[in-house]
Amino acid sequence: MKPEKVLEVCPVCGSSKLYLEAGGYTGKVYHCKNCDYMGALIVEADEEMARAIREDYEKSGQKRRDD
Residues interacting with Zn ion, by CB under 5 A?
Answer: 10, 12-13, 15, 32, 34-35, 37
Q: How far is the CB of 23 from Zn ion (least distance, A)?
A: 19
Residue spans of beta strands (DSSP E) within 1-67: 7-9, 18-24, 27-32, 38-39, 43-45
Judged by beta carbon, residue 25 or residue 47, the one nearer Zn ion is: 47
Question: Which C-beta is closer to Zn ion: that of 6 or that of 38?
Answer: 38
Comparison of 6 and 17: residue with beta carbon closer to Zn ion = 17
